[in-house]
Structure 1
Amino acid sequence: MGFDLMRFSGRVDEELMCVICGGVLEDPVMVEECEHCFCKCCIEAWLQRQQTCPVDRSQLQTQHLKPVPRIMRNMLGRLTLMCENRKYGCATIVRLDQLLSHQTECDFNPKKPIQCTRGCGVVVPKDEMSDHNCIRELRCLVNKQKIEINDLNLHKVEANKQISELKHEVSLLKEYIKALKIPTNPSLQIIQQRMEQDDVIRWGSSLTLARVTRWGGVISTPDVVLQTVIKRALIDTQCPLHIVNDLMENAHERRWPVGLSTLETRQLHRRQYEDYVTKRIPGKQAIVILQCENNHMGDDMILHPGIVIIFAHGVVDVT
Structure 2
Amino acid sequence: MNRQKGTKNKTKYLTTSFEWPEEDCIQKVTKYGNLLNHTQAEKDRWFTEKHPTIHPISTDRIAAGSIDHAVCSICFNILLDPVACTTCENPFCKRCIQEWLIKNPSCPYACVRFQERRCPPVIVTMLSKLKIKCYYQQNGCPDILNYEALKQHEINCDYEIKKCRGCNTNFIKRDIIEHENICGFIKIRCQQCGVTYERHTEHGKLDCLLNRQIQLEEKVEQLQQENKLLREKNEFILQKLKDRFGIQPPK
TM-score, normalised relative to structure 2: 0.44
Instruction: Pick the structure with greater CA Rg.
Output: 1
Normalized per residue, the structure richer in helix is 1
TM-score, normalised relative to structure 1: 0.35
